[in-house]
Amino acid sequence: MSGFDPFKLSTIVYRGVARIRDGVEERRYYRFRGGRWYGGIATGDVVGCNLRCKFCWSWRYSFYTNKGFFQTPQQVYEKLTRIAEKRKYKYIRLSGGEPTITMKHVIQLLELLDQTKFVFILETNGLLIGYHRKYAEELATYRKIAVRVSFKGTTPEEFEQLTGADKKYYGYQFKALENLIDAGLKPGEQVYPAVMLSFSPEENIKKFLDRLRDIHPVLAQEIDPEYVILYPHVVELLRKNKLKPRIAYKPNGIPEFMI
């Protein structure tokens, strides 16, 4: 049985998490926070995603469209820069769900951040950037940006197993890297891959690295590896989906188990 179409799901999710007020695209968020990632970063966590990852740490918000509260890009800018200034962070990001579902919102936020001292990290699964080349071109017009394309597995089969989306859409994640580099972002600095490795055997990881090298050699050297963190609500989701990682970590950073 094949999986779902994430682009159709994007359209459905958009109707629940976005609204236009006075020409401004607002997006649902469920929190704003500081955190230790990237050496310290201010984060806005968005509601709604176009995948249904069976290991998702934010599934209680990313799987739904009616939670959280609407924010304008200006409100997001003010909240995130306030956190970053107070804690002396260099970085600001959007995370939690899939930010590119509301791309106008992202671009309007980038316009506000572009003249500041902060670097904006866009965490994305890359599907919509791979599908819409113009998204990559728009992102590349901003100076202080890094796009972290988070791959859901190392093969099309893993992608379908882990996300529920049809494996034929997996290639759009690689296409996102290609589009971003072609648009002028520097590989390894302004665009780089992350990948969920908790479920991947070594032979699949090797194939994944080879495919990255075909796009640009630097990409295979600048991977941000991801592993399942066993928060209670993540364990609940894994059990529901009868999914066992090869390796996972407790919230305190200690490896939990291997199979």
Residue located via tokens 């459905």: 12
Give the mean model confidence (pLDDT) for residues 161-189: 97
Q: What is the CATH number of the domain that holds 13?
A: 3.20.20.70
Q: Is position 109 within any domain?
A: yes
Q: Is position 166 within any domain?
A: yes
**How far is 249 from 195, CA to CA, in rounded Å?**
15
Q: Is position 250 within any domain?
A: no
- Identify residue 10 by its one-letter amino acid code: S
Share of the chain above pLDDT 70, in %: 97
Whether 252 has a pLDDT exceeding 80, the answer reads: no
Q: Where does the pLDDT of residue 251 fall: very low under 50, low under 70, confident under 90, or very high at 90 and above?
A: confident
Q: Is position 236 within any domain?
A: no
Q: Is position 120 within any domain?
A: yes
Domain that holds residue 189: 6-226
The structural domain count of the chain equals 1
Give the mean model confidence (pLDDT) for residues 66-73: 97
Q: Is position 12 within any domain?
A: yes
Give the H or E element holding residue 151: strand 145-151
Q: Is position 242 within any domain?
A: no
Q: Is position 252 within any domain?
A: no
**How far is 129 from 178, CA to CA, in rounded Å?**
10
* Torsion, CA 149, CA 233, CA 31, CA 62, rounded to 10: 50
Q: Which residues contact 45 (CB under 8 A, 6 or more apart)?
A: 29, 30, 31, 32, 33, 58, 61, 94, 95, 96, 97
**How far is 27 from 242, CA to CA, in rounded Å?**
33
Using DSSP's 3-state secondary structure scheme, residue 257 falls into strand
Per-residue pLDDT tens over the stretch 88-113: 999 999 999 999 999 999 999 999 99
Residue located via tokens 């936020």: 109
